[in-house]
Amino acid sequence: MTISDSELSKVNLKHLEFWQNFKDDAPQTNTTLNINRRPRAQHWFDITIPRDKKSYLAFIRDSQKNEIRVHIYIKNDQKLYRHLEKNKNQFIEKVESEVDWLPLENKMASKIECKKIVDVDNISKQKEHFDWLLKVGEQLVGVYNETKNL
């Protein structure tokens, strides 16, 4: 099954609207995350982790699985990933969501991810979705920064 250009455009426009609303909402939440990049018509929105060149934080709006996700994407550093995984109890204790460990062995990256099943198209629930993404993103980055240098 292929998706027509008009369907793809509708999906991408929904992504763009979601991320624009996410960016507009972030300043009212007093988040410690720097949500300053320009939203794009794609299913992800990534930001830098301050003082870190090896990883970044990505927010995902998955309209096919009807879920939102946030993950730390670790670029080409299995040693760092394994170090963090050895300290996974820190993540379990401090992140208010189940944490999935994705080593992506044959790839150039690894992920530490949290996800939540939601109705991604329910605009009345967007604020809840944004709050969850920001809260869990802050928690992941906090534990990541505490743990990476242990």
Give the tens place of pLDDT for each residue, 8-63: 689 999 999 999 999 999 999 999 999 999 999 999 999 999 889 889 999 999 99
DSSP classification of residue 149:
T
Tokens standing for 117?
């099943």
Task: Write out pLDDT tens, residues 98-124.
Answer: 999 999 888 889 999 999 999 999 999
User: Domain with 114 in it: what CATH number?
Assistant: 3.30.1460
Residue 74: predicted pLDDT: 96
Q: What is the DSSP letter of 37?
A: S
Domain ranges, residue 13: 5-147
Cβ atoms of 12 and 40 within 8 Å: the answer is: no
CA distance 65 to 13: 18
For the entire predicted model, the pTM comes to 0.92
CB 31 within 8 A of CB 139: no
What's the total number of domains in the chain? 1
